[in-house]
Amino acid sequence: MSALIRRTIIAVVALLSAVSIDADVAMAQGYLSSGYDFSYDEYSGYSDSRPRIRTEWGIGIVGVHTSMVDVSSSDVKLQPRIAFGGHIDMGLCIGRNFAIEAEVGYEGGSVVAATERVERRVRTRTINIPVLLSLRMVNSRIRLDVGPMFTVMSRAEYTLEGETMFFGPIYPTWNIAAGVGIGLGRHFIVEARYIHGLNDNVNQYDGIEFTTRTRRITAGVTLVF
């Protein structure tokens, strides 16, 4: 290799290195001026260059246990089964310890309803939108969440002699939710949540109209990215 070619390669490498260093410095200056946090993150083991205000996305699966704590008619017996669902999450993280989280979740399950005359499986479908304030602790390994949850759709129906009959909503529109999550690594969260219905549901089954009040306990896993 001639001396001219060697000098040309060395010059190009030096120029690229200088450009790369200048770009890194400019990026760091831009991050600092825009509020990025460069403090050391003990959880991940390296310097954290995330902004102080940032978004966080996730998808998850969940199991739901429902308790019918109050049924106004003694003629109707209700036995909920475990329901399953999924959700999409979006969080607005504020610093290292707080976030506002919103979800859109779908659940599908069933309730066994019975009277002296007939017993049927009532199919349920639910869409929930919780909006929660999240407290992050121990480098986000522990999360405490609380806030309102809006059940924008709660449909329940069953089949009787070939006809589809409407049972009414299983869950009320207005709920309050509180939960705890534990981080596993950087991308997974195992969480449990208690959901308290704030008003009664009006239901119909086998010609009987009655009201119910429900509570929910959920447990699931969320992938955060």
- The pair phi, psi for residue 38, each rounded to 5°, is -105, 20
What type of residue is 180?
Answer: V
Residue pair 81/110 in contact by the 8 Å Cβ criterion:
yes
Where are the alpha helices (H) located in the chain, listed in sequence order? 3-33
DSSP code at position 141: T
| CATH no. of 52-224 | 2.40.160.20
What are the 10-residue block averages of pLDDT along the chain, 225 residues in total? 50 44 45 48 48 91 94 95 97 94 97 94 97 94 97 95 94 97 94 97 96 97 95
Residue 51 has a pLDDT of 72
pLDDT at 49: 57
pTM of the model: 0.76
Q: What is the pLDDT of residues 92-128, one digit of tens each?
A: 999 989 999 999 999 999 999 999 999 999 999 999 9
pLDDT of residue 16: 40
pLDDT confidence of residue 52: 84
CA atoms within a 13 Å half-sphere pointing along the CA-CB vector of 212: 25
Pick the closest to residue 134 from 86, 173, 175, 181 (CA basis): 181
> Strand ranges (DSSP E) for 115-166?
119-137, 142-160, 163-166
